[in-house]
């Protein structure tokens, strides 16, 4: 799938022609299981620069605790460098408890719900359920969450918010941080988002109850 599921393609053959996908259009293989390391050779080559100039390192497409360990070992000489684990694959959702346990070995550690890739990977119809469970289990583990991807995107690009994206933005009150994308109405987005979060934060807290069944946690506890 290309560009957050806008185009769905099937590979039938390898061609000598080389069509080009425009920059910024991601590619996902939701029906494929990859066994390669999430920490690529390019990532390792980039780490010295990140260690020297960065405050945090974002880790994409991790699947399990082993992937987290690989990154931790690669930056163990830089204990103050924060780690942000991007949850964007079905395996990462399934293995979230063990990922959190391993991540907690770093003092500065958080999670990003990368909703664009995650929606393509788990299916758009499951996105609401999955993001809620991620927020709940991270809250239980006192792990800060970044709520990301397409937050007030129409407002940012066109200057007019849709009803659905305002309701979606209200759910960000359950996270500790919200990431907004680039656009031409960034200041207006920040002002609108602040107003939404101030109004909706208490409502979300009141609706949550302490002992709630989570599919992610049930799978982990049940072995």
Torsion of CA 64, 1, 59, 94, to 10 degrees: -20
pLDDT at 148: 92
Q: Is the pLDDT of residue 65 over 80?
A: yes
Output the CA–CA distances (angstroms, integers) from residue 179 to 38, 112, 132, 156, 176, in the order listed: 23, 9, 17, 12, 10
More confident residue, 219 or 145: 145
Name the residue with tokens 């907004």: 180
pLDDT at 15: 80
Residues 143, 111 contacting (CB under 8 angstroms) = yes
State whether residue 108 is helix, strand or coil: coil
- Residue 45: both structure tokens together: 């080559």
Q: Nearest CA to 165 among 196, 134, 203, 208? A: 196
Q: pTM (2 decimals)?
A: 0.80
Over the chain, what is the mean pLDDT?
86
Q: Kindly report, residue by residue over 17-48, the tens digit of the pLDDT.
A: 877 777 767 776 766 777 778 899 999 999 99
Helices 115-122 and 127-140: crossing angle in degrees, nearest 10, is 120
Q: Is the pLDDT of residue 211 over 60?
A: no
Band (53; pLDDT cuts 50, 70, 90): very high
Q: Kindly report, residue by residue over 142-158, the tens digit of the pLDDT.
A: 999 999 998 999 999 99
Phi and psi at 125, nearest 5°, equal -70, -20
pLDDT at 203: 65
pLDDT at 79: 85
SS (H, E, C) 152-209: CHHHHHHCCCCHHHHHHHHHHHHCCEECCCCCCCHHHHHHHHHHHHHHHHHHHHHHCC
Please state which CATH number belongs to domain 41-221. 3.20.20.60
pLDDT at 6: 74
Q: Please state the rounded mean pLDDT for residues 118-141.
A: 89
| Residue 208 to residue 219: CA distance in whole angstroms | 21
| Residue 191 to residue 61: CA distance in whole angstroms | 32
């Amino acid at each position: 799938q290309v560009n957050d599921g806008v185009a769905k393609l099937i590979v039938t053959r390898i061609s000598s022609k080389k069509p080009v996908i425009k920059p910024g259009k991601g590619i996902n293989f939701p029906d494929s299981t990859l066994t390669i390391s999430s920490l690529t050779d390019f990532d390792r080559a980039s780490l010295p620069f990140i260690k020297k100039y960065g405050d945090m390192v974002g880790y994409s497409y991790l699947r399990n605790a082993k992937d987290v360990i690989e990154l931790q070992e690669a930056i163990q000489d830089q204990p103050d460098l924060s780690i942000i684990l991007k949850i964007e694959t079905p395996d990462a959702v399934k293995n979230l408890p063990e990922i959190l346990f391993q991540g907690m070995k770093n003092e500065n550690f958080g999670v990003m719900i990368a909703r664009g890739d995650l929606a393509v990977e788990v299916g758009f119809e499951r996105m609401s359920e999955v993001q809620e469970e991620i927020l709940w289990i991270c809250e239980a583990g006192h792990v800060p969450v970044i709520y990301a991807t397409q937050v007030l995107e129409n407002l940012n690009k066109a200057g007019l918010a849709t009803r659905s994206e305002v309701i979606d933005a209200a759910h960000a009150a359950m996270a500790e941080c919200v990431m907004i994308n680039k656009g031409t109405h960034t200041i207006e987005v920040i002002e609108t988002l602040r107003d939404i979060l101030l109004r909706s934060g208490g409502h979300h807290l009141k609706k949550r109850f302490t002992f709630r069944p989570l599919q992610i946690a049930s799978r982990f506890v049940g072995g």
